[in-house]
Amino acid sequence: MSRLLAVAGVAVTLTGVVMLLVLAAQAGWFGPVPRVAAGAVFSAALVAAGIRVSGRAGGRVGGIALAATGIAGGYLDVLAVTTLYGWLHPVIGLAVAFGIAAGGVALAMQWRSQPFAVLVVAGVAALSPAVTGDLALIAFLIVLMAACLPVHRRFDWPVLQIARTLPAVLATLWAVGDAVINDPAAARVLWILAGATAIALLGAVGVVDSVRRRPKDIVATVAFALSTVPLLSMPALFDRPAAAVVSGITAAALLGAAALTSATFAAPLRIPLHTRATAAVAGALALLAACVTVTADDTLPIALLAVAAGFLAVGGQAKSLLAALLGTAFGILGTGLLVTLANTETLATQRLAVDDLGFTTAIAAVLAVAVAGLGFRCLRTVAPNRDTGADSVFGVIAALIALYATTVTTVSLGVATGAEDGFVAGHSAATILWMAGATAALFSGLRLLTSAPSAAKVALVSGLLVTAAALAKLFLFDLATLDGLVRVLAFLVVGVLLLLAGTRYARAFADAAAERQENSAAE
């Protein structure tokens, strides 16, 4: 109960300080100098009383409440002097405010009291908007955030991690929203960008300070994630080229930090996985924003799939599950957009295909095939002890994506040539490529039948499924849609490939049976 009363006392007293500074000014009570002087003297008296009370028996709670109220009141007094009355230059006002906050933090560290530090930060954050707003509020909250950084070198104070970060984040997001609605001047937007950048940098410094000493400090990582949100929202304030630059720089910084702190050659810089993952995810979101702002609707799948291929290639090379997951996410987005642009109705209808497909969809589809292959290869590298059943499932998924993307590629190229029979030629080529891919998978599986049974199983299952799909397309779609020499060519090529596959399949199992008989006779 004593703590609850103390917190209530802090809230009420600080409200009184704000009323003295703001409402008295609006009502014309006293003069500016008496108001400011009274606030400063009252705050100093509270700090002195708190220090004296804390040394007495049972005085810790009261001392913390009194001193925290005094520190917060002094900070609000400087805020009013700088922004409300304009007596101090903003730089000087921020420096004085930093000194007051740093003094409060030092006292909290000396007393080993997280509630003290939290009361100061929460009191200032809650009542600062009543004194000032706009960019000055963001600046003073950033200074408050910076003053709390030294704490985390010595103490694990998770509540303070959030308390020092959230006010500046919310104030900046409010400024971003206001700027989006009111379309402010370019200088204001740049100042908001500077504030968002400062918050992200302070969040990064704070999390590195914390997790290098306490690797399991999840709250520090959460605070860092919050600190990146304003910077990730900044593209909303710029036109497309500038937004792409801002997002690209943000993505490069965050992804570069995640990569550097993961590298084996930079062991002294290593930080826990949860922090690296947060930086990588935030960087990926910035990269997604860059892709969206720099491309048009029809080229966005190309950008997303190219990014996916890059992440998957890195994931396979470095055996990084995080890179593999990010690549998979971009691959799903890019493939989904590709399927939206080149849906089944568009692929099956010549008029729609001519209107909606072209070289851009063909490039995106080629990338989708590459992403499907890289994704499956990355799975086998990142998870070497994977379950065979999971292998089969992912192999089937990759094969289905490759089938669809192959069809999009050939049909898009067919209609992009402008030839009268480009649509049917594209479908004929798709069927042939389906069967060629199935034959290659079957041959690969049969070759690995004795040396790598699990890999052989995946290849054989995928090959048989693609064979079934190719035959279904041949008889259910191509037979009704294609005509003339194109139809004949499709049937001939698919038939020859089936004969080759069937012959090789039978011979492989016959050889395997003969080998088993020889082994039994030898025993």
Both 510 and 423 in one domain: the answer is: yes
- pLDDT tens, 5-43? 445 545 555 555 555 455 444 445 454 566 566 666 766
169-178 per-residue burial string, b: 16 or more CB within 10 A, e: under 16: bbbbebbbee
pLDDT for the residue numbered 472:
74
Both 459 and 372 in one domain: the answer is: no
Residues 6 or more apart in contact with residue 362 via CB below 8 angstroms? 408, 409, 412, 413, 416
Length of the chain: 523
Both 459 and 408 in one domain: the answer is: no
Residues 6 or more apart in contact with residue 176 via CB below 8 angstroms? 192, 196, 230, 233, 234, 236, 237
Global pTM?
A: 0.83
Range of the domain at 338: 311-413
**Torsion sign, CA atoms 465, 467, 472, 473:** positive
319 against 249, higher pLDDT: 249
Both 380 and 447 in one domain: the answer is: no
pLDDT for the residue numbered 290:
93
Both 377 and 450 in one domain: the answer is: no
Residue with tokens 């990064």: 204
Residue 196 resides in a domain? no
397, 413, 429 — which closes off a domain? 413
Residue 475 resides in a domain? yes
Which 3-state string (H, E, C) describes 181-201? Answer: HHCCCHHHHHHHHHHHHHHHH
Residue 203 resides in a domain? no
- pLDDT tens, 182-215? 877 888 899 999 999 999 999 999 998 888 888 8
280-300 mean pLDDT: 92
How far apart CA 410 and CA 82 sit, in angstroms, is: 67
159-173 mean pLDDT: 93
Both 356 and 408 in one domain: the answer is: yes
100 contacts 76 by C-beta, under 8 angstroms: no
pLDDT for the residue numbered 331:
94
- Model confidence at 287: pLDDT above 90: yes
Q: How many CB atoms lie within 10 A of CB 124?
A: 27
492 against 406, higher pLDDT: 406
Residue 256 resides in a domain? no
Both 436 and 398 in one domain: the answer is: no
pLDDT for the residue numbered 24:
47
Instruction: Supply the angle between the helices 388-416 and 422-447 in degrees, to the nearest 10.
Output: 150
Number of domains in the chain: 2
| Longest pairwise C-alpha distance within the chain | 112
49 against 326, higher pLDDT: 326
How far apart CA 137 and CA 83 sit, in angstroms, is: 9
326 contacts 304 by C-beta, under 8 angstroms: no
124 contacts 131 by C-beta, under 8 angstroms: no
Instruction: Supply the angle between the helices 484-522 and 422-447 in degrees, to the nearest 10.
Output: 0
**Amino acid present at 161:** Q
Both 447 and 511 in one domain: the answer is: yes
Both 326 and 351 in one domain: the answer is: yes
Residue 186 resides in a domain? no
413, 442, 473 — which closes off a domain? 413
- Model confidence at 367: pLDDT above 90: yes
How far apart CA 445 and CA 249 sit, in angstroms, is: 45
192-224 per-residue burial string, b: 16 or more CB within 10 A, e: under 16: bbebbbbbbebbbebbbbbbbebeebbbbbbbb
Residue 330 resides in a domain? yes
478 against 237, higher pLDDT: 237
pLDDT for the residue numbered 85:
75
413, 431, 462 — which closes off a domain? 413
Residue 285 resides in a domain? no
- pLDDT tens, 333-347? 999 999 999 998 888
Residue 321 resides in a domain? yes
User: Among 97, 150, 103, 89, which Cα is nearest to 125's?
Assistant: 97
pLDDT for the residue numbered 385:
57
How far apart CA 509 and CA 517 sit, in angstroms, is: 12
Both 442 and 497 in one domain: the answer is: yes
DSSP secondary structure, 394-413, as one string: HHHHHHHHHHHHHHHHHHHH
Instruction: Supply the angle between the helices 240-260 and 273-294 in degrees, to the nearest 10.
Output: 160
Both 383 and 438 in one domain: the answer is: no
Q: Which secondary structure element, helix H or strand E, spans residue 520, and what is its range?
A: helix 484-522
